[in-house]
Chains A and B, each alone.
Chain A
Amino acid sequence: MKLEYKVQGGDFVRAGQASSQVKKVLKRLNVPPAIIKRVVVALYEGEVNIVAHAFQGKIYVDIDADKIKVVLDDIGPGIPDIDLAMKPGFSTASNIVREMGFGAGMGLPNIKENTDKMKISSVIDVGTRLEFEVNLK
């Protein structure tokens, strides 16, 4: 099953809607709750990252019997130093993002923690692609 969602940068009211939709689908597919939680926590962190840092983005979700593959593609400023961005506590988030309860520098490390495979690639002034996989069994 393939799903696709658009994400608008700066729209903190709707941030999380795509993750919420995916959660409902996984529940309908009877995926165990502990695995659903890993997927949606990682996805929600990724979705919030697009809202917080990029102009716009797309989320592609591909679910098969064994695993869920997610690609989050954004058009935005890109990440200059991915190793630094992966460090817990490092964040370039604005005050508005912090007021929303994010920007603590825990997002990317938490995505890594909740997924079985994760890859980030980024081009400055073009955008960032985050890919991850979670095994469903």
Chain B
Amino acid sequence: MKLKELADLIEGSVVCCPDGLEQDVEYAFASDLMSDVLTVSKDRLVLITGLANMQAVRTAEMADILAVVFVRGKTISQDMIRLAEENGIVLIESPYTMFRASGVLYGKGLKPVY
């Protein structure tokens, strides 16, 4: 599914890099543990997390993750946006919980990693 469609499905607002919304994603991984995220070797991956800090964006950079969805109204700082811009990573804020966002996206065909 295209990231644009993904954002619509979870009532997401795009905080960074709207140019990337036409990209296709195939897999999603939901976690607040960045060490777990770093074990994922899939491409075309979106990360769903409640961890709103620089390391979530750094992890996305290192693991070639196309987009990060921050759930449940977490605040994304200017530093996080700057780092995402530098690396072309799409950042989306969703009012949904991690469970709900994951459930909706799974139901629409986004694949789990394991």
A residues contacting B by CB (< 8 A) are 12-13, 15-16, 19-20, 23, 33, 37, 40-41, 44-45, 48, 100-107, 110, 113
Please name all residues of chain A whose beta carbon is closer than 8 Å to the beta carbon of B49 when the two chains form the complex.
101
State the CA gap A16–B38 with chains docked (Å): 13
A and B contact pairs by CB, cutoff 8 A, 27 listed: A13-B54, A13-B79, A15-B54, A15-B55, A15-B58, A16-B55, A16-B61, A19-B58, A20-B61, A20-B62, A23-B62, A41-B38, A44-B62, A45-B35, A45-B38, A48-B55, A100-B34, A100-B53, A101-B32, A101-B33, A101-B34, A104-B33, A104-B36, A105-B35, A106-B35, A106-B36, A106-B38
Give the total of B residues in contact with A, Cβ under 8 Å.
22
* Smallest CB gap from A108: residue in B: B35
State the CA gap A45–B55 with chains docked (Å): 11
A12 touches B55 (CB 8 A): yes
Please name all residues of chain A whose beta carbon is closer than 8 Å to the beta carbon of B62 when the two chains form the complex.
16, 19-20, 23, 37, 40-41, 44
The majority secondary structure among interface residues of chain A is helix
B44 to chain A, nearest CB (A): 13
State the CA gap A107–B56 with chains docked (Å): 15
Please name all residues of chain A whose beta carbon is closer than 8 Å to the beta carbon of B39 when the two chains form the complex.
106, 110, 113
State the CA gap A110–B40 with chains docked (Å): 10
B31 to chain A, nearest CB (A): 8
